[in-house]
Structure 1
Amino acid sequence: MITVIGSVNMDLIATTPRLPEPGETVTGTDFATAPGGKGANQALAARRAGAKVRMAGAVGSDAFAAEALALLEAAGADLGAVRHLPGPTGTALILVGGDGENMIAVIPAANGQVTARDAEAAVARMDAGDTLLLQMEIPEDAVRAALVAARGKSVTSILNIAPLSDAVERLAPLAGIVIANETEFARLSGRPAETLAVVRTELAALHARTGQCMIVTLGGDGVLWARDGQVEHVAALRIKPVDTVGAGDTFCGYLAQGLDSGMEFAAAVRRASVAGALACLTPGAQPSIPLASEVDARLED
């Protein structure tokens, strides 16, 4: 069983030929809304990957609340730990350029009211051997409380250190597994992620110092992981991205499902990498998350 404690958003997505420079106005070509939020995205990814999933978090009392939860509800996720609070649901304003890259501004709203008590209550319902999946779009106190509680219950904790904040140095050491992209990992290592070779060297050094399991997602350069003294690279699936929003969340959800189901670590990372790549082929965060059958078909190619 996977419990995800995290954000639930409504994504407002504008597509432009290219991303604007600071102070520049660019005419867009399309607009759409879709359920999002890093917590909800990862919960849906884990559910589509085949896991039983419980989502914990908060939405508001506005019209976005039901829509933000719609795909999770349709997928059969347990939403009993999602609180409905007065005020707005979290939103994300997303610009997607013609090359698939994106810029995102997040307004926490109800997500900012998730408390340490909420987190502790969610972990209290977990059993030894379950998997806890966290991100950093809810308050630091809630993430910390969940990680500390997980340690006392023999629960595997996975922390995706996105979006990056000053809390990363305080929270990352508490997790069983840390997932970062190259920019986020540079914050942990203290050295810019200039090349794949640099990231690999820094990952090996950090792993040797801490013994912590770490995974670095590198977009088109694939994935690097360090575990039990071993550092390995997984090549990326070759695709032409349409929209990279949600790719990292898809990776996290699929990885959590693989490990929770007892899959061998390297195989779980490889499957998650393929899932993350496939998520780049469709616009939107949650709508782009592939089904397990689609991922497994590409693994067999």
Structure 2
Amino acid sequence: MIIVFGSINIDLVARVGVLPRAGETVAGPGYEVIPGGKGANQALAARRAGAEVALVGAVGRDGFAEPALSLLGGAGIDLAGVAPVDAPTGVAFIAVDPAGQNQIVVAAGANAAVRAAALDRLAPAPRDTLLMQWEVPEAEILAAARWARARDLRVMLNRAPAGPVSADLAALLDIVVVNEHEVLALGAGLGVTGEPDAVAAELSARHGLAVAVTLGAEGAVCWADGIRHESPAYPVEVVDTTAAGDTFCGALAAALDRRRGLETAIEFAAAAGSLACARPGAQTSIPELAAIEAAAAILAEQRNPPHRRTTP
């Protein structure tokens, strides 16, 4: 099982001809209201990738709460750990350009009220996974990691948005997932600088972590136990990159939960993240298991092509 401890939002998405610069206003033809939030997105990604999932988070007592949870309940995710609180449901304001690149502003709202104590209602098995992100309070992330470590769970953190983690938290983690910009911020906070790949390798060696770095169109790499695992991206026509990172995280957690090896799990996650770029929106773009498996099989064949038979 995967326990996701994290944020739940409504995404207000506007498509624009060009992303605005500082002080600039740009116009778009309209907007969409789409369920999102890094915690909710990763929970749905893990569920669609084949895992049993429970989500612990918070929503407001407002009109955004029901649509924010609409796809999660229908997918069979355990939502008993989602608390209604006296704060507005979190909102992300997202601008997306024709190339699928985005700018995002997140208003935390109810996500600031998420508490690690809510995890106590769960009864996980050893080696289940706790998956976290950085859109809920830092003190609660640390408390959740301690809760998980005391129960022999795998502890996985997506350090996004970018920033450092404390040495205390790093010592509790098994896996950290970052993009090529976030890994530099993570490294700087722990006294490691350099190019993204070198920083990932050093962080892995110093802290005994698996450090996975997503590289957009270049795929992903992961350093663990001195070994560099890598996977290319699965080729798609990019429409919207909003959910790519969250889909990668959820799919990686699901693959590891199914006891796949790290190399295969990174490939599976890279395939899932790529497929999420081919459709608009956050949760609406997250692929199902069959599509991920098909794309991952193609990536695996590229890595280990079958021997060609020759006719005598």
TM-score (norm 1): 0.93
Deviations 1:106-126 (A, max 9, x none): 11111100123224x25x522
Give the structure 2 partner of residue 229 of structure 1. 226
| Mapping 1:1-301, distance limit 5 Å | 1-119=1-119, 121=120, 125-167=123-165, 171-190=169-188, 198-301=195-298
Quote the offset at 1:29 in angstroms.
3.1
CA deviation after TM superposition for structure 1 residue 167, in Å: 4.5
> Residues of 2 paired with 1:77 and 1:52: CA distance?
7
Report the more deviating stretch, 184-193 or 279-288: 184-193
- Distance change in 2, residues 1:234/1:131 (3 Å): same
Q: How far apart, CA to CA, are the structure 2 residues paired with 1:28 and 1:137?
A: 27
Distance (whole Å) between structure 2 residues aligned to residue 225 and residue 39 of structure 1:
22
Distance in 1 (alpha carbons) for counterparts of 2:296 and 2:165: 36
Q: Root-mean-square deviation (CA), in Å?
A: 1.6
TM-score by length of 2: 0.90
> Is the 2:230–2:266 Cα contact (8 Å) retained in structure 1?
no
Change (3 A) 1:166 1:201: closer
Q: Secondary structure at the match of 2:277?
A: helix
Q: Structure 1 residues 168, 34: CA separation in 2 closer, same or farther (over 3 Å shift)?
A: farther
- Partner SS, residue 91 of structure 1: strand
Distance in 1 of aligned mates of 2:273 and 2:92:
20
**CA 1:262–1:166: 2 relative to 1, 3 Å:** closer
Number of paired residues? 295
Counterpart residue type for residue 151 of structure 1: R
Q: CA deviation at 1:236?
A: 1.6
Secondary structure of the 1:270 match is helix
Query: Which structure 2 segments of 5+ residues have no match?
Result: 299-312
The 10-residue stretch of structure 1 (225-234 or 183-192) with the greater mean CA deviation from structure 2: 183-192
Closer, same or farther in 2 for the Cα pair 1:166/1:223, shift >3 Å?
A: closer
Deviation at 1:169, TM superposition (A): 5.9
Identity, % of aligned positions:
44
Q: 1:161 to 1:287 in 2, by over 3 A?
A: same
Cα deviation 1:178-213 (Å, max 9, x = unaligned) = 0011111001223777xxxx3222222232222211
- Structure index of larger Rg: 2
Secondary structure of 1:263's match?
coil
The answer for unaligned runs of 5 or more in structure 1 is none
2:157 alignment partner AA:
L
Which whole-Å CA distance do the structure 2 matches of 1:208 and 1:89 have between them? 39
Counterpart contact for 2:193–2:199, Cα < 8 Å:
no
| Structure 1 residues 97 and 173, CA gap change in structure 2 (3 angstroms) | farther
* Greater shift in the superposed pair: 78-87 or 271-280: 78-87
Question: Alpha-carbon deviations, 1:149-186, whole Å to 9, x = none?
Answer: 11111100100001124556653442111001111100
Task: Supply the AA of the counterpart residue of 2:233.
Answer: A
- For the residue of structure 2 that corresponds to 1:238, the secondary structure is coil
